[in-house]
A = this chain, B = another copy of it.
Amino acid sequence: MLPEMLTPFASLVERYRVIFFDAYGVLKNARGVLHGVPELLSWLLRQGKDVYVITNDASRSPAQMAAAYVHPEHGVLIPESKIISSGLLCKDFLRAKVRPGRVAYLGKPSAAFYIESAGLVPVHIGACKSADDLSAFVLLDDEGFDWFRDLNLTLNLMRRVSAPVIVANPDLAYPVNDQEVGLAVGSLAAMLERIVGKSFMRFGKPDTMMFSHAFACAHENVPHLRKSDVLMVGDTLETDILGANTFGLDTALVLSGNTRPEQASMMIQAKGIIPTYLCESVFT
């Protein structure tokens, strides 16, 4: 059952009409877009592939994310409309299901975009004097607040008010560089959830909603698109691969992020989450 050996990424491409990429650990790391990515994307577009980014990231707006894929020479490589972030799902939920008013959030100011664009009023958790009129809590990112002070503050506000809690990125960790990872907001959310004792709502992979959303977008561009025409490329078994497997897509696990080359076989075996292909990275 196991993909026994590494497949060159470029050799996979001809089998698919649409490529979904995870961002962190695949196309970028904490320092930005990886060297070589503009050329890769440009080459894919020239081959006629339709390319999307499917990312558990609510730290910035899709417009800000898309800016990373604009290249002086190659131009716009992935437009804002093809960046499907967990923040977007969160925004749709906030607009449709949360009553108008103030929403307390954890994250950088840039993350508040998702609350504002849902027509609600973002309030940084550190500025919440009283919780009495909060419509919701939204956990967007692991940066932009003082962990000790603001996590304790969030815990106590959540104990007092029964507003829904929305986690805009369920990831537990993310790759910072080749060697190190960082605790993601999903870890902080899980810690709070266990004490508060309520069910937080999570948006993002491995839930299939992002894949479904992206597939619907792609379907409008690519006539008669079938699931077997789409390849999901990700670095994390429990989110990228599990979610895309469940949705019915073929998957390529790249070893440039959360899954380290020396552990890949053992982790696939241990977890039983089986990608269609194993690739060293999107470049090799």
What is A's interface to B at a CB cutoff of 8 Å? 1-2, 92-93, 96-97, 99, 142, 146-148, 151-152, 155-156, 159, 162-165, 172-173, 179-183, 187-188, 190-191, 194-203, 207-209, 212, 227-228, 238, 242, 245-248, 266, 269-274
- Copies of this protein in the assembly total 4
Contacts of A246 in B (CB 8 A): 93, 201-203, 207, 209
- Which of B1, B151, B162, B248 is the one whose CB lies under 8 Å from A272? B162
Q: Is the CB of A96 within 8 A of B2?
A: no
Contacts of A245 in B (CB 8 A): 93, 97, 201
Q: Is the CB of B187 within 8 A of A172?
A: no
- Which of B165, B181, B272 is the one whose CB lies under 8 Å from A199? B272
Q: Is the CB of B274 within 8 A of A164?
A: yes
List 19 A-B pairs, Cβ < 8 Å.
A1-B99, A1-B162, A96-B227, A146-B148, A147-B151, A155-B173, A156-B180, A164-B272, A164-B274, A173-B195, A183-B195, A187-B191, A197-B270, A199-B238, A203-B246, A207-B208, A208-B209, A209-B246, A209-B247
Contacts of A266 in B (CB 8 A): 266
A52 CB to closest chain B CB (Å) equals 17
Q: A92-B248, A93-B246, A97-B245 are in contact. Are A181 and B159 (CB under 8 A)?
A: yes
